[in-house]
Structure 1
């Protein structure tokens, strides 16, 4: 299993599995995105970022309706043309919320886009 996070500035997918940065200190364990689901998650994130960046380009508005300036609009446009969309996710660049919910059978892993509210369940139910 691996932990991957999309870096807000570069759009690169970063592998954190060796570092286990998403740590549950109370129980001494780590939360992971199942390896079997990584490609599916990456494809979903690309589709979401493309949809949101395209909408932001069309409206000229970024996260929370903030008006984008010409430099920001140009950066979004260039990122779309390069196939690595970088929508405006605000100052922190955190466009996704990762939820890890352990239960007696396994861990439910849900990723949510903070702008659209769309979610994907990347739990590995076959491994339960």
Structure 2
């Protein structure tokens, strides 16, 4: 397994990551944001855990989702607006990527469930 840390704030935790990963895992750090498209295209799993800031809102849009490997999964444990939910719904529906798990939605109020949350019929989507 190969783990790539793409956040400069996580670089100090490299030793902790090494202990959490299976034996033989290589961990490399690439905190440069301009490498994000390449990292997305090469990754088996993409985990979004960054804070919601003006520069991170919408950081994963349709183009970046479609650049991911067909076998890749997206996990959003950050804030909903990090990822374009409509685009995510479409790539899951069209099986462009293997799956997604989200613990954050733009709308967390039951009366205003987003299209993605309504997509619970998608077997490749887990919404918490």
Report the TM-score, using the length of structure 2 for normalisation. 0.24
Q: Point out which structure has higher relative CO (alpha carbons under 8 A, 6+ apart).
A: 1
Q: Kindly name which structure, 1 or 2, has the bigger radius of gyration based on alpha carbons.
A: 1
Higher helix share: 2
